[in-house]
Every structure is written in structure tokens, then in C-alpha cells.
Amino acid sequence: MGNSWAVITGSSRGLGAHLANAFWSAGWNIVLVARNQDDLLEVCKNLPERPNQRTVIFPCDLAQPVEVSLLVEKIKDQLPRLDALVNNAAIHGPIGPLVENDLTLWNKAIQVNLMSPVTLCHGLLDLIGKSGGGAIINLSGGGATGPRANFTAYASAKAALVRFSETLAQELESQGIRVNCVAPGAMKTSLLEEVVVSGKSVAGTREFEIAENVFAQGGASMNKVADLVLFLASDASLGITGKLVSAVWDKWQEWPKHIEQLAASDTYTLRRISGRDRGMEWGDV
Ligand SMILES: NC(=O)c1ccc[n+]([C@@H]2O[C@H](COP(=O)([O-])OP(=O)(O)OC[C@H]3O[C@@H](n4cnc5c(N)ncnc54)[C@H](OP(=O)(O)O)[C@@H]3O)[C@@H](O)[C@H]2O)c1
């Protein structure tokens, strides 16, 4: 992997910091992005020494469109190539019923969770294509595949990010750029802690109990997520694109043996379920 480069957003803590470590250990050069420069430096400081690899940090507030555009320019100026773009940074936005949400915060969640990945893809496709192909990996989240009450902003942004990824995957297939999404499962991070802190009455009983349970029992394995993201970033996943892959539930290790079948089907994608799919024949013509 000696000369491969990955950009990982939201890599100052939580899953992003874990992914930064995993890419580094797998031999990648890494670009770390988040708001807090000290936290990014701390992540770099704790990486094992590897003299032939490079780290670059770009502090950036992804909630500010101008900063995201500047980030694109800095990446294009300073990187010789880009092999993997991991859009991992995300925020919940307002938690609670829509009617009580501050729409400014709603908008901010759309900007960080959806528009910043869109802007990074838009601005960096040329650089990714320069070395003959590459991978875009977008982190999905609760609400992308089903409703998530009290998290309308987050759920809407994540559902849109998944459909954006499916659509971009089709556009880029002939250029050898794969676009996939990863559902990591509920993990013990500051994002989930927010759900516990917001309380049952705001987040809702179901969400609160899931989060509380994760903090009591440990939650999904970040190592499994990192294995999956590294797989999607590597040539081992050639031919796999436009899919939403669960790090917890999917046997993706088997997928390279079934590339044609996967490509020809709508499995692992967002689709409408009709009455016919549920045995309700009265519902369809
Ligand atoms: N944790 C879960 O249970 C769970 C479940 C499903 C999906 N996910 C997804 O997994 C990904 C990682 O989540 P996580 O739990 O690791 O979150 P986290 O612990 O809250 O970390 C979020 C990261 O994003 C950065 N970030 C937040 N706002 C930013 C902004 N405006 N500009 C730039 N960077 C920003 C944070 O750094 P700064 O604060 O320094 O900016 C931090 O590095 C997210 O996409 C999330 O939706 C998480």
C-alpha cells in the first residue's frame, strides 16, 4: 500500500480515529480531518512509527461550506493521488420531535452528514480517477433504512447519503471508482453518548435503551468495521459498488466469489417494499 492515500473525515475520535489507525497499520498514507486540531495531533502522535508513511492533518469545520471547498483545494494541492475517501464525520443534529427541533441545527446536520460528503466527492473525483480508480466509502447510520423517530435530521441525511452513493456508483462504474456505504452498528462513542445524555423523554424509549445497552455491554466492534472499510478500499472488493454493507450482519468476506450475482441484483440497496413482497396480493395490480 506504500503509496496509497486515504482521506478520513471525523478522524479525531470514535470510529474515525480507529479507522485512521487501521489504515495506517495496513500501510496507507492518511489525511485526517476534523475540527479539533489538538485531537487530530494526538491521534497522529499515538500511531506506531512507520518511516515510509505520511500523515497530514487538515482541521476543518465541515458545517461551513466555504471551509469544505477550501479543504478540497488543499487536498488537491498537497496529495499526489487519492485512493480512498472515507466520509465518516457526522453529527446527530437536533434530537427530539420535529416540531421542537431548531431548523438551523437541522440544516447543519444536512450540511455535515450529506453536503460535505457530496462536496468532497464532487471536488475530489478527478484526483481519485487520476490513478485509474479508487474507492469512496460513506458511513451510513440509524434511519437510513427505516424510520427513526426523534432523529429526523440525522435519518434523512443518512438515507440521502446512501441513495447518493448508489447513484454516484452507477455514474462512476466505467471509471473504476467504487462507491459503497457501511452500516457500522451501534458503537460506544461520543455520538451515541449524546442519546443517553438527551434522555428517554427526548430521544424516545427505544433509542435511549439501545444506547444505554451499548454503554453497558460494549456495542459493535470497531475492528470489524475497520476490516470492512479496508476491504472496500482495497482491490479485494473490485466489482463491488453501490452497496450498503453491514459490518455486523453481512458476510462480505464471501462477496468476491459472487461479484456477478451481486452486480446483477438489487440486494444490499435501498428499495421500496410492495405488498407483493409481503404476501399481500390485494395491494398490487
Ligand atoms: N456510534 C454509533 O453508534 C454509530 C452508529 C451508526 C453509524 N455511525 C456513524 O459512524 C460515523 C462515526 O461516528 P462516531 O460514533 O465515531 O462519532 P463521534 O465519536 O461523535 O465522532 C465524530 C467525528 O466527527 C467529527 N466532526 C463532528 N462534527 C464535525 C464538523 N462540523 N466538522 C468536522 N468534523 C466534525 C468529530 O471531530 P471534531 O468534534 O473535532 O470536529 C469526530 O472526529 C458517523 O458517520 C456516524 O453517523 C455511528
Low-confidence ranges of the chain (pLDDT < 50): none
Atom in ligand 1 nearest the alpha carbon of residue 194: 20
Please give the distance, rounded to the nearest whole angstrom, from the Cα atom of residue 167 to the centre of ligand 1: 24
Look at residue 57 and give its three-state secondary structure. strand
pLDDT at residue 284, rounded to an integer: 78
pLDDT at residue 2, rounded to an integer: 66
Q: Whose CA is nearest to atom 37 of ligand 1?
A: 34
| Annotation: CATH topology of 5-185+221-267 | Rossmann fold (3.40.50)
* Residues β-bridged to residue 34: 59
Mutate to test the pocket of ligand 1, among 13, 70, 85, 156 (most ligand atoms within 8 A of CB): 13
For the whole model, what pTM was predicted?
0.98
pLDDT at residue 1, rounded to an integer: 59
Cell for 122?
464532487
Question: Does any ligand 1 atom lie closer than 6 A to the CB of residue 35?
Answer: yes
Half-sphere exposure of 262 (CA within 13 A, CB side): 21
Domain borders along the chain are 5-185+221-267, 187-219
Radius of gyration of the chain measured on its C-alpha atoms: 19
The residues, any chain, with a CB within 8 Å of residue 234's CB and separated by 6 or more, are: 135
By CB atoms closer than 10 A (0-12, 13-18, 19+), residue 176 is: middle
Please give the distance, rounded to the nearest whole angstrom, from the Cα atom of residue 11 to the centre of ligand 1: 8
Question: Does any ligand 1 atom lie closer than 6 A to the CB of residue 116?
Answer: no
pLDDT at residue 285, rounded to an integer: 78
Contact 262, 251 (CB under 8 A): no
Atom in ligand 1 nearest the alpha carbon of residue 64: 31
Atom in ligand 1 nearest the alpha carbon of residue 36: 40
Mutate to test the pocket of ligand 1, among 43, 85, 88, 148 (most ligand atoms within 8 A of CB): 88
**How far is 23 from 230, CA to CA, in rounded Å?**
7
15-37: pLDDT as tens digits = 999 999 999 999 999 999 999 99
Question: Does any ligand 1 atom lie closer than 6 A to the CB of residue 61?
Answer: yes
**How far is 151 from 157, CA to CA, in rounded Å?**
10
Please give the distance, rounded to the nearest whole angstrom, from the Cα atom of residue 90 to the centre of ligand 1: 4
